[in-house]
Structure 1
Amino acid sequence: MSRQPRHFPLSVALFLLVLGSALPGAAMFSGYKTFFKDGEAKLEAGDHQGALADFQEAFRLENKASRYRLEGAIFANYLPRYKIALAYEPLDIMEAEAWIKKSTDALEEEVIKRQRKELAKYHADKNRIQKAAEEKRKALAAQFNIALSDAQNLLNQKKFAEARRAFQKLVQDYPNRPEAQVGLGKVDNAKLTHLRTMALDAKTAIIDRNFAKAETVIGQIERIDAGFGEIASLKQQIVDAKRRIADAADAEKRRKQLEDEKNRLAALEAERKRREALAQAQADNQTNNQTTSPPRENSPPQTNTATAQAEQNKAALREALLATLKPYRRGDPGKALSELQEIAIDGAEDSLSFRWLKGIYLLGKHHHSLEPDEAVLDLARGEILEVQRMQPDFRPDPGIYPRYVIEFFGATGN
C-alpha cells in the first residue's frame, strides 16, 4: 500500500517557513559562507583590502574552521584565519604572521590535512609569510638602530630639543623597544647637567670680572632653556659685581685725591720750614759775623754754601722717599722697603719721614705675608716708637693709611 504524501495546512506551512528563516544558525551559516566566498574572489582578483574586510566579517560570524558543502558532493575548506593572513600579507606582514600563527594554533590545517596540494600550499604560504615577517623585523631593527644612533648623536651634540623629538618619535614608532624610552629619559638629565656646568662657567667668569664671557654664556643658557632657574641669579651677580667695582673705583679716586691734597700740604709745610731755616741760618750768620773778625777780602761765603747743600739734600731725600711710595701703593711693601733702604743720602736714616716709611713698609710686609714673621713686626714697632719719640704729637691721617696701620700706631703708642 503506497503512502500518500502528507499535506500541511497553509497556516502551518507559513509558520514553519517563518520559523526556519528565523533560526540563527541557518542565517549565520549562510552569512559567513557568502562573505568567505566573496573574500576568496576578491583575493584572487588582487583586492586584498576588500578581501580582508570580507574574511574578517566571515570570521566574526563563524570562527571555527570547517568544510562546507558548495553544491552536491563538492566541499570547500573554511579557514578564516589562514585567509585573513593571506589578505594581510601585502598590507601588513607582521599582522599576516600573527594570523598565520593563529591559523596553526586553531588547527586549521587539520581541515585540509588529506588534501595534499592544498596542504602543501598552506605550508608554502605559511613559510613565505613567516620568512617575510622575519626579514621585516630585521629591517625594522636596523632602522631602529640607525634612528637610535641619530638621536643619541643629537644628545651628544647638546641639541636637546632635537634629541627629545627624535627619541619621542622612536617611542611612538617602536613602543616595545625600551631603549627609546630610556634615551628619552636621558635627555632631561643631560640637559640639566649641561646647564649647571654652563652656569658654573658663568659664575667663574663673573669672579674673574670677565663680564662679556659671562653674559655670552647666560645667553646660551637662555637659548637652551629660558626657564632655567639660575638665569636670574646669574644676571643679578653681574649687576652686583659691576656695582662693587664702580664703588671701589670711586673709593680709590677719593683716596687718591686725599693723598694728593696731603702731599700738597706737606710740600707747602716743608717749603715754609725751609724758608724759616734759611732765614734763621742767615740771622745766625749775621750774628757770627758781628762777633768775630771781619772776613778777609775775597773769602767765600761758607755758611751760605752749607745751607744750600743742606737744602739740596732735603729736596733729594724727599724725592727719593716719595719714589718708594709707588710700589707700596701697588701693594708691594717689600719692594718699597728695598728701595727705601737703597737711598744713599747723608742723614736719610735719621729723618722722621724715613723712619715712618720704614715702619709702615715693615708693617705692610708682615700684614701681607703668607707666613708672617714676628721679627719683622718687632722692627716695625721699633721704627714707629722712634717716630713717636722724635715727634710726640705725630698722628697718621686715617684718610690716607689703611686701618691696620692706624690701629698698630695706636697700639704701639700705648
Structure 2
Amino acid sequence: MSHSRNPMPGILPLTVRLLALWLVLGCVPTWTFAYQSREFKTFFREGEELLEAGKHKEALEKFREAFRLENKAQRYRLEGAIFANYLPRYKIALAYEPIDIIEAESWIKKSEEALEEEVIRRQRREAAKYHADKDRILKAAEDQREKLNTRYTLQLQKAESLLSQRKFDQARQAYEALVQLDPNRPDGQVGLGKVDNARQTYLRSLALDAKTAIVDRKFDQAAGIISQIEAADASFAEIPDLKQRLSAGRKAIETAAAAAQAELERKRREAAEAELARIERERKQREAANQTAGNTGQTTASNQTNAADRDRDPNRVREQEVAKQRADLRKALLNTLKPYRRGDPEKALRELQAIRLEGTTESGSYHWLKSLYLLGKHRHSADPDEALLDLARTEMGEVRRLLPNFAPDPAIYPRYVMDFFESVQN
C-alpha cells in the first residue's frame, strides 16, 4: 500500500500564511478608504444643503473639507440606485461666486482642467447647468476684472497727480490703496518708493533755498520756506538747524543795526550842537559889528568910566540879561534834540513849542529846529499829513529871513532835509 507524498513540503502552509498577511494588510487602506468615503460624502452633502440655503461661506468650508479628503470628480452612490455627482472644484467655484468672483473663476477653470464635466457628460440637464454656471462665472470675473482695472487706473492717476502736486502724505495713501486693490501689480509699491524719494528731494531743495535766503539776509523769505518744509514734513532733520541759522542771522543784523543807529545818533547830536554853536557865533559877530559902528564918535571920557560906573550902566545890565537869556534859550533848544535823536520827532516838536523864553520866536535856530522836527514827523508818520510840509516850509522861510546866509551842512543832515531846504530856497 503506497502512500502519496507532498512533492513540495511546506509550500502550502507558506502560501496560506502570505495570503492571510496580504488580506490583513490589504484591508487597512480599504477600511480607511471606506471611512474617508463616508466622511467626504457627509461634508459634500452638507455643503450642497448650505449652498442651496444661500450660506456660501459655510458651504465653502464644507466643500473645501470634502475636497481635502477626496479631490477626484466622480459619481457616488447616495442610497440604493440613486447616485450624486461629486464635482469638488465646481462646487467650490459656486460657493466662491458671491464672495470673490476672481477666485471663483480660478476654481471653475480648475474644474475644466480636471475634466469634471466628464462625470456628467451624459446627463444633459446637469451638463447644461454646469456649462451655464461656468460661462456665467467666467463672464462675471471678466467684468469684475475690467472694473478693477478701471478703478486701478483711476487710482493710479490720482496718486501720480497728488505726487506731482507735492502732496506727499495724500500720495502715499493713494499708492497704499493701489497695493490693496491689486498686490500683484507693481505700481503701488513702486509709487511708495517714488513718494519717499520725491519728498526728500523736495525738502532738501527747500532747505538749500532757505539757507541761501538767510545768507542774503532775506529773513522773511527764509521763514516762509521753513514753514513750507514743516507743512510737508515736520520731522525733517534739517528744520532745527535752519531755525537756528535764521535766529542767529536776525540777531546779528539787529545788533549791527543798533550799533549803526547809535553811531548815527551820536554824529547827528554832535553836528546839531556844532550847527547851533556856529549860528550863535555868527550872531555875536553881527552884534559886535553893530556895536562897534554905534560907538563911533563917542568921547574918550566915556571910555574912561570906571568899572563901578559900567556895572551900574543900564545898557550893561541889559546886555548881561540878554546874554543870559540867549544862553538859556540855547540850552532849551539843545534839550529838544534828545527825543529827536531817539527817533521821536513829535515829542521833540512838543518840547520845542513849549519853550516860553524871551526871544524864542526871533531865533533862527528855533525856526530851523521846528522845520526839522516837522519834516521828521511827516517822514515817520504811517499816514503822512501834507499840512506838516506846509508848516515846515513856513518855518524854513523864517530861517531864511532871520539868517539870510544860513546854509545847512550836507554832512550833518539827511538827504531829504537838504532837498527840502533847497526847494524852499528856490
TM-score (norm 2): 0.56
Q: 1:42 to 1:245 in 2, by over 3 A?
A: closer
* 8 A Cα contact 1:206 1:237, kept in partner: no
Indicate the larger mover: 74-83 or 130-139.
Answer: 74-83
1:168 aligns with 2:255: no
Tell me which of 184, 191, 194 is aligned to 2:192. Answer: 184
The equivalent residue for 1:246 is: 255
The equivalent residue for 2:128 is: 120
The equivalent residue for 2:331 is: none
RMSD: 4.7
Structure 2 distance, partners of 1:81, 1:99, is 6
Structure 2 distance, partners of 1:316, 1:202, is 56
- What letter is aligned with 2:410? A
Equivalent residues in 2 for 1:106-255, closer than 5 Å: 106-199=114-207, 200=209, 204=213, 207=216, 209=218, 211=220, 214-243=222-251, 244-255=253-264
Structure 2 distance, partners of 1:32, 1:152, is 51
Query: How far apart are residue 25 of structure 1 and its match?
Result: 1.7
Structure 2 distance, partners of 1:151, 1:197, is 22
Structure 1 distance, partners of 2:114, 2:279, is 121
Once the two structures are superposed, residues 105-151 of structure 1 have per-residue CA deviations (whole angstroms, 9 ceiling, x without a partner) of: 22222333333333222221111110011111112222223333444
* 8 A Cα contact 2:160 2:171, kept in partner: yes
Q: 1:253 to 1:26 in 2, by over 3 A?
A: same
Q: 1:261 to 1:153 in 2, by over 3 A?
A: same
1:322 aligns with 2:409: yes
Q: 1:71 to 1:242 in 2, by over 3 A?
A: closer
Query: How far apart are residue 235 of structure 1 and its match?
Result: 2.0
* 8 A Cα contact 1:109 1:119, kept in partner: yes
* 8 A Cα contact 1:85 1:99, kept in partner: yes
Tell me which of 12, 35, 48 is aligned to 1:27. Answer: 35
Q: 1:233 to 1:17 in 2, by over 3 A?
A: closer
Query: How far apart are residue 96 of structure 1 and its match?
Result: 0.8
Query: How far apart are residue 279 of structure 1 and its match?
Result: 8.2
* 8 A Cα contact 1:81 1:103, kept in partner: yes
Structure 1 distance, partners of 2:78, 2:288, is 152
Q: 1:248 to 1:73 in 2, by over 3 A?
A: same
Q: 1:19 to 1:188 in 2, by over 3 A?
A: closer
Partner-residue secondary structure (3-state), 1:322: coil
Partner-residue secondary structure (3-state), 1:67: strand
Tell me which of 28, 37, 62 is aligned to 2:70. Answer: 62
- Identity in percent: 49
- What letter is aligned with 2:42? T
Structure 1 distance, partners of 2:158, 2:414, is 61
Query: How far apart are residue 73 of structure 1 and its match?
Result: 5.0
Q: 1:48 to 1:271 in 2, by over 3 A?
A: closer
The equivalent residue for 1:103 is: 111
- What letter is aligned with 2:136? R
Runs of 4+ in structure 1 off by over 6 angstroms are 16-19, 269-280, 327-330
* Structure 2: segments with no counterpart, 5+ residues: 1-22, 296-399
Query: How far apart are residue 18 of structure 1 and its match?
Result: 12
* Structure 1: segments with no counterpart, 5+ residues: 1-15, 287-311, 340-414
Q: 1:260 to 1:106 in 2, by over 3 A?
A: same
* 8 A Cα contact 1:21 1:27, kept in partner: no
TM-score (norm 1): 0.57
Query: How far apart are residue 324 of structure 1 and its match?
Result: 6.3
Q: 1:237 to 1:71 in 2, by over 3 A?
A: closer
Query: How far apart are residue 60 of structure 1 and its match?
Result: 0.5
Q: 1:218 to 1:35 in 2, by over 3 A?
A: same
The equivalent residue for 2:91 is: 83
Structure 2 distance, partners of 1:49, 1:141, is 26
Q: 1:70 to 1:120 in 2, by over 3 A?
A: same
Q: 1:62 to 1:256 in 2, by over 3 A?
A: same
Structure 1 distance, partners of 2:131, 2:232, is 57
